[in-house]
């Protein structure tokens, strides 16, 4: 039976506020599982944007943040250590941040497959704009790769508790890329790898709502669910 998923677009929301919201949904799904009462799972897909913020995953190194806390404050960039996988990344306006809160008991028990599904949704969305998104062996996320090098356009970092997903992806659409110079993005020290956005690749500003709509349905198609 195809699952039903609620969708919500929170718009531009402070990182901590969005974290509290997705955490409340995450805890509710886990509590429903514990009850064993046959409750229909309340899967939710969240889209939002964040004001400028760096987030560092549990396996990341603070050495990958090149600024002091005072310098962060002067640039009006927030900073949070969080419990997702991965290293440090940047969120800011013009970026689609996606937080799927799914109970994988109703999908599949395979973290790698889950990440590949998210990557595939981004790759297929990029195809609508004649951009070729690719995977690179040994790295998560989606990349643009050509004679200019390898440029990450979407970062992915996830966490699971009782097979309920938390965190998700950050897809650069019209994102200002300047703050990435203040970190070692995703902890990758490689002169041939950098960060990009759809706007930078295509040379013009993209309709963010249009990309959201495409991506929303690509995710539903790949995970084989319907929106309620």
Q: What is the CA radius of gyration of the chain?
A: 17
Q: What is the pLDDT of residue 37?
A: 66
Distance CA 96, CA 173 (A): 7
Question: What is the structure's pLDDT at 38?
Answer: 67
* Residue 97 contacts residue 168 (beta carbons within 8 Å): yes
8 Å CB contact between 121 and 219: yes
Helix (H) or strand (E) holding 123: helix 111-127
Contact 197, 174 (CB under 8 A): yes
Q: Which residue bears the tokens 């760096």?
A: 54
pLDDT tens digits for 60-119? 888 899 999 899 999 999 999 988 877 899 999 999 999 999 999 999 999 999 999 999
Task: Characterize the bridge pairing of strands 43-49 and 95-101.
Answer: antiparallel
In sequence order, what E strands does 92-218 have?
95-101, 133-134, 142-146, 149-161, 164-172, 193-195
Which residues, given as ranges, of the chain have pLDDT below 50?
none
The pair of structure tokens assigned to 141 is 């996320």
DSSP 148: T
Instruction: Single out the catalytic residue among 48, 154, 176, 186.
Output: 186
Catalytic annotation present for 48: no
d(CA 133, CA 142): 6
Query: pTM for this one?
Result: 0.94
CA distances from 112 to 4, 57, 130, 140, 156 (A): 22, 18, 27, 10, 12
Backbone angles phi, psi at 10, to 5 degrees: -85, -5
Domains in the chain (CATH in brackets) are 3-223 (3.30.930.10)
Within 10 angstroms of residue 133's Cβ, the number of other Cβ atoms is 21
User: What CA–CA distance (Å, rounded) separates 73 from 53?
Assistant: 11
- Tokens 């990349």 correspond to 143
């Amino acid at each position: 039976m195809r699952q039903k998923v609620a969708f919500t677009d929170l718009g531009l929301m402070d990182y901590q506020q969005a974290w509290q919201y997705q955490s409340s949904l995450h805890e509710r799904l886990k509590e429903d599982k514990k009850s064993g009462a046959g409750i229909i799972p309340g899967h939710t897909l969240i889209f939002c944007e964040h004001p400028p913020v760096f987030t560092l995953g549990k396996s990341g190194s603070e050495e990958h943040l090149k600024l002091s806390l005072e310098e962060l404050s002067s640039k009006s960039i927030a900073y949070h250590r969080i419990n997702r996988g991965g290293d440090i990344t940047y969120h800011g306006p013009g970026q689609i941040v996606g937080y799927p809160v799914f109970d994988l008991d109703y999908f599949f028990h395979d973290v790698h497959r889950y990440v590949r599904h998210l990557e595939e949704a981004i790759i297929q969305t990029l195809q609508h704009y004649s951009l070729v998104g690719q995977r690179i062996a040994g790295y998560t996320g989606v990349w643009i790769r050509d004679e200019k090098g390898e440029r990450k356009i979407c970062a992915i970092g996830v966490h699971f508790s009782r097979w309920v997903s938390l965190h998700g992806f950050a897809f650069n659409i019209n994102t200002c890329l300047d703050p990435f110079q203040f970190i070692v993005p995703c902890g990758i020290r490689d002169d041939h790898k950098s960060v990009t956005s759809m706007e930078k690749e295509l040379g013009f500003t993209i309709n963010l709502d249009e990309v959201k709509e495409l991506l929303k349905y690509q995710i539903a198609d790949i995970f084989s669910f319907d929106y309620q």
